[in-house]
Amino acid sequence: MLSRRLGGRSRLLVGLAALVVGSSAVASTLNQNVSWTVDRAGTTAKYRVVAYGDSIYAGYNTSISNAAKYSAPTVDSEYLSALWNADIESIRRAKSGAVASDVYSNKIVAEKSYMQTASTRVVTFEMCGNDGLQARSAFKSQTGTCDYSGMNTALNNCKTYVAQAMDYINANAHPNTKLKVISNLYYPGYNADNVQSSCNDPTTGAKVNLRDKFLPYLTKMNYWMCEYARQKGFKCGDSFAEYMGADYDSNSDGQVDSAALRYVAGDTEAAYVTRITSTLKSTLRDANVKYVSSSSSYDYIQSDDTHPTYTGGTVSAGLWGGSTGTGAPRYTSFSGGKSPIWNNFGHERMGWTISVFNPATP
């Protein structure tokens, strides 16, 4: 009996090890759904924030069984709770490893009911990160003549499904919804990508710098996220600017770096790409060292060099299902619209970035 039990346990452990080792393949099937209600003392009204996305909104922390309790949408829910003096139900319907088409089809469309309740006030989503990561991984393994088609496909798929997602949310979110907002992409591994390719450019025959090749593609993805948002009644939380630029003027151009990097309504794609990849490229910094002043920095990226850092503990989410929970807000008021830790962690910064668009009343 003991040997049979151990044998079964061994098979389970082997299976779990296979999930971890094959995380790039399994991640696309790892739903990490969480419902967390910010329960504000002395209130009776309750409103809902619905967030769709991949591992970023999931609060992925390299675990297959739990995730950050306070990923960006739940951080925003704390801001809303204080602003509206209400309880806020943060619904995160996320799928770690999912590409844009998967987030669109299997989260936004298949789980539309979450944004159709009368209590819904905010709908937010993020996508495209895994399209870019998969294209990057494939390109890094190339030898011989470089083929850029994978990155072009990732860009085109991102544009297609971001636009479709916005149209679908516009058509299906409850009429009580007051804010629809997308969060764009930061660049994980910005420093690590500052190396030469193993393949040769088909025109020059030379190796290419991976970061120089990837940055324009990511920048175009971000442009269209924000531009489609402008066209379709969404707001755009510019996580790229907030993660990749310092919170001081490092190049003495009269602008705080993170502010100067933000998408500006009315920008053409060419103008935005030039500003990010050329004019202000010298101000870009890897988000592992996010300077909040000229002498102080925080790490916005976990040890996997991909996912945002967080604080506030974890909740069950992943292989054994999602979770539902309730808790008092960590902070009941916000001086100047910012929590005391608004710029200390990646998820706190992203949540604040979303929160600046919050309507004054529910």
- State pLDDT tens for residues 308-324: 999 999 999 988 778 89
d(CA 158, CA 213): 17
Q: What pLDDT score was predicted for residue 319? A: 80
Reported as a single tens digit per residue, the pLDDT across 228-253 is 999 999 999 999 999 999 999 999 99
pLDDT at 292: 98
CA-based radius of gyration for the chain = 21
Q: Is the pLDDT of residue 217 over 90?
A: yes
Is 152 a residue whose pLDDT tops 70? yes
Give residues with Cβ within 8 angstroms of 54, minimum separation 6. 94, 95, 96, 97, 98, 99, 103, 126, 127, 129, 130
Share of the chain above pLDDT 70, in %: 92
- Predicted TM-score (pTM) of the model is 0.92
Give the model's pLDDT for residue 241: 98
- Can you read off the two tokens belonging to residue 254? 């009269």
CA 339 to chain centre: 20
Tell me, what's the pLDDT at 79? 98
Separation CA 115–CA 111 (nearest Å): 8
Query: What is the rounded CA–CA span in Å between residue 351 and residue 362?
Result: 18
pLDDT tens digits, 40-71: 999 999 999 999 999 999 999 999 999 999 99
CA distance 1 to 302: 42
Taking the C-alpha atoms of residue 346 and residue 315, their distance in angstroms, rounded to an integer, is: 18
Would you state the pLDDT for residue 19?
33
| 13, pLDDT greater than 70 | no
* pLDDT value at 347 more than 80: yes
Average pLDDT, the chain: 92
- Lowest mean pLDDT, pick from 13-27, 28-42, 61-75, 99-113: 13-27
pLDDT at residue 17 in the model? 30
Question: CA 22, CA 116: separation in Å to the nearest integer?
Answer: 36
Q: Does residue 5 carry a pLDDT above 60?
A: no
Residues 143-151 have a mean pLDDT of 98
Question: What are the φ/ψ torsions at residue 247 (nearest 5 degrees)?
Answer: -95, 35
Angle of CA points 329, 108, 92, to nearest 5° = 20
Residues 6+ apart with CB under 8 A from 44: 87
- What pLDDT shows up at residue 303? 97
Q: How far apart are the first and last CA of the chain?
A: 60
1 has a pLDDT exceeding 70: no
Residue (of 263, 279, 96) closest to 185 by Cα position: 263
Identity of the amino acid at 317: A
pLDDT in tens, 158-184: 999 999 999 999 999 999 999 999 999
Confidence of residue 29 (pLDDT cuts 50, 70, 90): low
Lowest mean pLDDT among 2-16, 251-265, 283-297: 2-16
All domains in the chain, ordered by first residue: 30-356 (3.40.50.1110)
Q: Report CA-CA distances (Å) from 46 to 74, 114, 176.
A: 14, 15, 13
Please answer whether residues 86 and 122 qualify as being in contact, where contact means their C-beta atoms are separated by less than 8 angstroms.
Answer: no
